Amino acid sequence: MTARDNDWDGVRLHVVTGKGGTGKTTVAAALALALAGRGRKVLLIEVEGRQGIARLFDSPPLPYAERKIAIGQGGNGDAGAPGGDVFALAIDPEGALLDYLQMFYGMRSAGRALTKVGMVDFATAIAPGLADVLVTGKATEATRRRAGGSYVYDAVVMDAPPTGRISRFLNVTSEVSDLAKVGPVRSHADAVSNVIRSPQTAVHFVCTLEEMPVQETLDGIAELRAIKGIQVGGIFVNMARPALLPPDQLAAAPDEAVLATALRSAGLPGAEDLAVHLAASLGEHAQHLGLQDRERAELDSAGQPTYELPLITEGIDLAGLHRLAAELRDQGAA
């Protein structure tokens, strides 16, 4: 062990992307739980307005406010160590615009009136980049926020847009540069960009071991590497299926006759049919594991740290999230 706490020690803003459906929201939540050990305070942010975090934690829909939602994991395998707090926030562009007006112009009530006449739709329609800057702005503000000389949050985890949109989403300064060359939007964008393009921020990829998500992950990593200052983080392989048999037994073609004999001697009726089915599903399982290994090798070629999270067959509830969080801690991701 080195003196480092975990692989992402200096990182305070964890941006979690991935192809939709691969478990982005689930992994972001597990990472937040994992980071919230030893009394640490972590903010988990959702940016797509789907209330996925609330559902995951069995909580009522999140308002546009930071809410305590869970207690984190105990520290370093020490079950007795106190967990910290996970707060959650669902950001929508409208709330972010109001915040922005308040922060820079002290005109929250004017903002309210503006939203009534559709200002937000208007602003976000004429300047799609603006919505992104406002959302990332809220996340970076929470990351930098201080009270009494120390950070309010030890870490912020963002359940970010999917891989196909992530580089535009994070490339804030270039997205708004046509819109605003000078003025408050511009300097706000620059401040946001300074956090995002710093060692304080890492962009993690969630991926399943299938061809499409793997390809999207590799493409997404290449795109982000082309943006100066953005740190590509870890690859979180999710829902990997574990091997049910040792490799040598899986490699050997399953012998139906041997299986039938064994099943018969176990006193099972219909041993022959059962043996055929069993041999077929063993064959499929072996083939699936082979495909997984191939995709794993592809991901390894990206040269980023990888973590592996098992498929939780009972489905994801709070206990499942804590299991995934414990895995992340064991593997050094948090």
**Residues within window 46-85 making contact with Mg ion, judged by CB under 5 A:** 52
Smallest distance from ligand ADP to CB 265, Å: 36
DSSP β-ladder status, 146-147 and 85-90:
unpaired
Positions touching ligand ADP (CB under 6 A) are 18, 20-26, 52, 238-239, 309, 311-312, 316, 324
3-state secondary structure of 61: coil
In this chain, which stretch among 20-28, 68-76, 231-239, 287-295 interacts with Mg ion, using CB under 5 A? Answer: 20-28
The number of CA neighbours under 13 Å toward the Cβ of 216 is 21
Smallest distance from Mg ion to CB 91, Å: 14
What is the spatial distance between Cα 328 and Cα 334, in angstroms, rounded to a whole number?
6
The number of CA neighbours under 13 Å toward the Cβ of 226 is 9
The binder of 312, among ligand ADP, Mg ion, none, by C-beta within 5 to 8 A per type, is: ligand ADP
Q: Which is nearer to Mg ion, 12 or 24 (CB)?
A: 24
Q: Which is nearer to Mg ion, 179 or 316 (CB)?
A: 316
Q: Which is nearer to ligand ADP, 230 or 325 (CB)?
A: 325
DSSP β-ladder status, 67-71 and 85-90:
antiparallel
Smallest distance from ligand ADP to CB 27, Å: 7
Backbone angles phi, psi at 33, to 5 degrees: -60, -45
In this chain, which stretch among 24-32, 122-130, 172-180, 204-212 interacts with Mg ion, using CB under 5 A? Answer: 24-32
The number of CA neighbours under 13 Å toward the Cβ of 136 is 33
What is the spatial distance between Cα 36 and Cα 104, in angstroms, rounded to a whole number?
32
DSSP β-ladder status, 150-151 and 146-147:
antiparallel
Q: Which is nearer to ligand ADP, 24 or 322 (CB)?
A: 24
Neighbours of 243 (CB within 10 A): 15
Q: Which is nearer to Mg ion, 24 or 204 (CB)?
A: 24
Neighbours of 153 (CB within 10 A): 23
The binder of 183, among ligand ADP, Mg ion, none, by C-beta within 5 to 8 A per type, is: none
Smallest distance from Mg ion to CB 17, Å: 11
The binder of 239, among Mg ion, ligand ADP, none, by C-beta within 5 to 8 A per type, is: ligand ADP
The residue written with tokens 């040269």 in the block is 303
Smallest distance from ligand ADP to CB 31, Å: 12
Query: What's CA 334's distance to the chain center, in Å?
Result: 13
Smallest distance from ligand ADP to CB 286, Å: 22
Binding site for Mg ion (CB under 5 A): 24-25, 52
